[in-house]
C-alpha cells in the first residue's frame, strides 16, 4: 500500500525507446502468453465488463489518487473498434474515489493534477 505502479505495455517495451517512430518491424513485438483480455471487446457488453473491473479497483484497494486512460482504440480482431463509455467511467470514479484525478484527452482533469490540489 506504500507504492503505486503505472504500467504501459507496447512496442517500446521491445525497442527500449521512450517514443516509437512507427517504422519498427512488427516482428519485434513478441510477447508470450498474452492475447486480447476480453472476448467482449468491440461490443456494448465490454463497457459493463470494464465498469465491473473499475468498480473493483475503486472499492477494494484503498485510496486511488489518479486514474489514467490512454484513449487507445486500435482495431481489434476482425477490425472491431470499441466505443468506450467514458462518461460512465468518470461517474464511477467520482462516486467511489471523488478525490482522484482523471486523465483523459477530453476528460475532466486533463491536467493530471490531483483533485485535492486543484483550485475549485
Q: Which pLDDT does position 39 carry in this prediction? A: 83
Query: Is residue 77 scored above 90 in pLDDT?
Result: no
What's the whole-number average pLDDT of the chain? 79
DSSP for 6-63, please give it. ----STHHHHT-SS--S---GGG---SS---S-TTTTSHHHHHHHHHHHHHHHHHSS-
Least confident of 3-7, 94-98, 115-119: 115-119
pTM (2 decimals)? 0.65
10-58 per-position pLDDT tens digit: 787 788 877 778 898 988 887 776 575 678 888 899 999 999 999 999 9
Amino acid at each position: 500500500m506504500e507504492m503505486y505502479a503505472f504500467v504501459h505495455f507496447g512496442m517500446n517495451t521491445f525497442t527500449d525507446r521512450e517514443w516509437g517512430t512507427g517504422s519498427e518491424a512488427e516482428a519485434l513485438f513478441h510477447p508470450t502468453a498474452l492475447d486480447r483480455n476480453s472476448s467482449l471487446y468491440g461490443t456494448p457488453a465490454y463497457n459493463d465488463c470494464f465498469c465491473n473491473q473499475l468498480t473493483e479497483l475503486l472499492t477494494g484497494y484503498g485510496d486511488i489518487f489518479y486514474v489514467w486512460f490512454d484513449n487507445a482504440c486500435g482495431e481489434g480482431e476482425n477490425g472491431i473498434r470499441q466505443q468506450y463509455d467514458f462518461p460512465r467511467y468518470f461517474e464511477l470514479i467520482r462516486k467511489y474515489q471523488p478525490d482522484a484525478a482523471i486523465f483523459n484527452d477530453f476528460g475532466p482533469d486533463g491536467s493530471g493534477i490531483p483533485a485535492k490540489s486543484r483550485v475549485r
